[in-house]
Amino acid sequence: MTLVLVRKLLRDVRWGLFAVCLLLFVFSAFWVKIAQRVTTEIAPFFNGVAAVSKINPKLFDEVIFKGPGKVSQAVLGGAEIRFDRPDDFLSVELLHPVVVIVTALWAVSRSSGAVAGEIDRGTMELLLSQPIPRNRLILAHLIVDAVTIPALVLSIVAGTQLGLALIGPFEVDYSVLQKLDLPPMVRLPAGPPVLEVHAARQWYAVVNLAALVFALSGTTMLVSALGRNRWRAVAAAGLIVIGMFVANVIGQLWDSAAFVRPVTVFYYYQPQKIWLKENWTVDLGEAWAGGSPMVEIPVMPVLIGVGAIGYLLALRVFDRRDLPAPL
């Protein structure tokens, strides 16, 4: 009976899942083209101008990411990201607002309908009239997460691979620099003709994204189990997610507010560190000790634990609550 319920839930979300996967797939493919242009044309131009002018290339970063630009820098991964390296820029995609917002919306919208949505539609009584215990309903939603979340992250990987296959090698273009009217004694800088791309480690990073989506889904599941109106559940869960995201970003920009970052799930979402450095931990000292080393926390157990706790609490609440009669 559980499998019948799972098939029913998957049938309910199939078109929404297809639309979200298609959006992530297309965006990932286009992001490869954006990464190629930035790393092979724009970044070499600025680096070349800096070399000819004998100035530090970091001055460009200080100008671009000054003031309000710091928000963009924080969202895109901080000051360690170098735009002249393909892997660095490709990894920015997983922190891009499109990816984060779309996956978060999926987690909130799908899980909010688990309990509150069924009660709101008046179909919960019909479901529970079948010979299935209440815990099977929560289990069915957990299985749906186990199917849909991998589909989301696989669409990102597939889009990236398609983009790399269609666009080809990242060949550096110095043609714009060569148009500069420079004295004969000034030589333009030259770099490798083709930049190396190591997209295989993207798999590691999207696993972190999958864990984040599961954490958000588990949190929303608990909110849904406490409510009886889907849109109120969406609003409540949405406020929680937005609050955590904003708190994490503000903590990156303002040292005095950094202490709140570890209590948000987004602090443990570190796809760039995982992709570029294979570092699966985050140091609490970044938020609580002014950047000094403190305690390394594995990010995956935290995110998976948050999702699991959300599901367990949702099961406990739903199993014990009285359901309102349909109007």
pLDDT at 104 over 60: yes
Give the per-residue pLDDT at 47: 66
Higher-scoring residue by pLDDT: 327, 264: 264
> Which range marks the domain in which residue 15 is found?
2-42+86-167+199-320
Confidence category of residue 69, pLDDT binned at 50, 70, 90:
very low
Tokens 């559980």 belong to which residue?
2
Q: Model pTM?
A: 0.88
Tokens 């999926």 belong to which residue?
106
pLDDT tens-digit readout, 15-47: 999 999 999 999 999 999 999 988 887 777 666
Are 85 and 196 in contact by the 8 Å Cβ rule? The answer is no
Pairwise CA distance, residues 266 & 212, whole Å: 8
Task: Provide the 3-class DSSP secondary structure of residue 298.
Answer: strand
pLDDT tens-digit readout, 230-285: 899 999 999 999 999 999 988 887 878 889 999 999 999 999 999 988 999 999 88
In order, the DSSP letters of 179-227 are: TS---TTPPPP---SEE---GGGHHHHHHHHHHHHHHHHHHHHHHHHH-
Query: Is residue 173 in some structural domain?
Result: no
Query: Is residue 75 in some structural domain?
Result: no
Q: Indicate the number of domains in the chain.
A: 1
Task: Output b/e per residue, 264-292; b: 16+ Cβ within 10 A.
Answer: bbbbbbbbbbbbbeeebebbbebbeeeee
pLDDT tens-digit readout, 175-229: 666 666 665 655 665 666 888 888 888 999 999 999 999 999 999 999 999 988 8
Quickly count: other Cβ atoms within 10 Å of residue 169's Cβ.
Answer: 13
Query: Is residue 95 in some structural domain?
Result: yes
Tokens encoding 148: 């849909």
Pairwise CA distance, residues 292 & 199, whole Å: 31
Backbone phi and psi for residue 82, each to the nearest 5 degrees, phi listed first? -110, 125
Query: Is residue 163 in some structural domain?
Result: yes
Mean pLDDT of 74-81: 60
Task: Output b/e per residue, 27-40; b: 16+ Cβ within 10 A.
Answer: bbbebbebbbebbb
Give the side-chain half-sphere CA count within 13 A for 302.
Answer: 21
Query: Is residue 48 in some structural domain?
Result: no
Are 241 and 216 in contact by the 8 Å Cβ rule? The answer is yes
Query: Is residue 49 in some structural domain?
Result: no
Pairwise CA distance, residues 117 & 113, whole Å: 4
DSSP 324: P
* CB burial of residue 153 (10 Å; 0-12, 13-18, 19+): buried
Give the side-chain half-sphere CA count within 13 A for 324.
Answer: 15
Tokens 């000094």 belong to which residue?
292
Query: Is residue 266 in some structural domain?
Result: yes
292: left (phi over 0), alpha (psi -120 to 50) or beta: beta
pLDDT tens-digit readout, 282-312: 998 888 877 777 889 999 999 999 999 999 9
Quickly count: other Cβ atoms within 10 Å of residue 100's Cβ.
Answer: 18
pLDDT at 154 over 50: yes
The H or E element that residue 137 is part of is helix 134-167
Query: Is residue 76 in some structural domain?
Result: no
